[in-house]
Structure 1
């Protein structure tokens, strides 16, 4: 069956205007592109100390569906993918596999985690039946190598391989619709901004925007590698760099799943102002970055800024 039918998406995701004085006094309109509402969530499950993700939400749905469709067309019954200890992608892949009746294997960075209690993210993945395989960081760095994929097939048998974060050419093409949803009518944004882990969502978003629009990526990891990686993904998907996009590297707050007092204070204040819970790994860093940029005068008066709430 088509993954679109089983996963029951509801795009386009809604666009919500947010009144925030820090933007308004600069003449900037702040919009939230609520990709987290592509699917509804989720009952609370005490066993995993949180809501159980029954559906892959947000940009994970946009990136996963093309890969799931390719796996189904190839007759694959097992998915293997990669992620860190707090990977949203691992959790989403496990949820999709459960719904589609596919076995899932998650290769997790950090062999030491095998001897520790599962955190809520990994517990959710395991609750959906994902087999977790913990590896040393040196092995994890080989995740893009064909030889390493061969070693994993010797261990687990045949599988459809989905890269870390779900980001490959198919996923990038799946994210083009996100840009197109922001490219016209009342939903048109001058600037579309998204938090970045692997660059796949930014690559597709930028390609889907129209003339005069631009995209901004806010990396949540240190390292300064995402410009080259986003260009590589666009080359793989389209054969060229597409769209007007750039990265703002200042707001990773120490690296993936790390925080600072500034981020914690900002997120708590934002939640009080707007009665909107902020996911901390991606969305809070994105909104912190946009708020600082607005206060610095980075956006011209009259600009509409759409922040993609990825999940």
Structure 2
């Protein structure tokens, strides 16, 4: 299943700010693994799809918003690996479909629109049973791939990669951070940048995912997770919110380094890291930034890329 994916390259960033304080800055280009199913999305889907196959379940049902990277990737992965896919979409149908949902339909995904009150119950047994009554025996993947299979996949993001002092990544559900904490050593520190307002609550989610994983019997390369922290100051007003300062930063970064950033996730994290470098937050050493893909989300903004 993984054979169609490329190994993500590591790209050095030449930054005067970083160089001046003795820091080497690198980017792990998860966005280059596959044209459609890339970034951390593949890692969160991998073991969910394998679990569905082991259970002889041919239909995947999952949840997301109208511009969801997870919906986009699940639709593409379903098409690649022969699964029927159903996407439960938060909110009412809007025609014509936006580029994300148009792509999902083209990949064969059936869309079910769900009012926000009902959508908030997506984790409940009752709603999931209702969905199974409607669609038959489906394998349900939570929004964003946030389950132990998703965590397991994310433990494989950095195998055989030389040690870095800090690993920085954007956080939505924090599944990726939990998986990485279970695969790195205690001398490395992971810094997560929540992309939604009030992201402090993710700390409890991370602790829960890590603790549940460690007691699940699933494979882990460490007994004690690597240290991690959240920096919640770079959400730019909330999930999927942008302003001109962020747009200018992303466009300038692309011009200078040839790396396109998405406005929802990686752009905010990259901005945060560069801002913290100016503040002297980091000690001299090596920093790795995860480019977690999601560039399709930029199509939701009327902004030239």
CA–CA distance in structure 2, aligned partners of residues 260 and 216 of structure 1 = 23
**What is residue 308 of structure 1 aligned with on the other side?**
290
**What is residue 281 of structure 1 aligned with on the other side?**
264
Alpha-carbon shift at residue 268 of structure 1 (Å): 1.4
Alignment of 1:99-248 (within 5 A): 99-111=80-92, 114-182=93-161, 187-224=162-199, 225-239=201-215, 242-248=225-231
CA–CA distance in structure 2, aligned partners of residues 85 and 235 of structure 1 = 32
When the two structures are aligned, how many residues end up with a matched partner?
285
**What is residue 15 of structure 2 aligned with on the other side?**
20
1:83 and 2:78 aligned: no
User: Contact (CA 8 Å) 1:86, 1:257: kept in 2 or not?
Assistant: no
SS of 1:178's equivalent?
coil
* Structure 2 segments unaligned to the other structure (5+ residues): 216-222, 294-305
Alpha-carbon shift at residue 153 of structure 1 (Å): 1.1
Alpha-carbon shift at residue 296 of structure 1 (Å): 0.7
TM-score, L = length of structure 1? 0.88
Alpha-carbon shift at residue 241 of structure 1 (Å): 7.0
Q: Deviations over 1:63-108 (max 9, x none)?
A: 1110000000100010000111111000100001001111101111
User: Contact (CA 8 Å) 1:220, 1:281: kept in 2 or not?
Assistant: yes
**What is residue 38 of structure 1 aligned with on the other side?**
33
Alpha-carbon shift at residue 274 of structure 1 (Å): 1.2
RMSD: 1.4
* Structure 1 segments unaligned to the other structure (5+ residues): 42-52
SS of 1:97's equivalent?
helix
TM-score, L = length of structure 2? 0.90
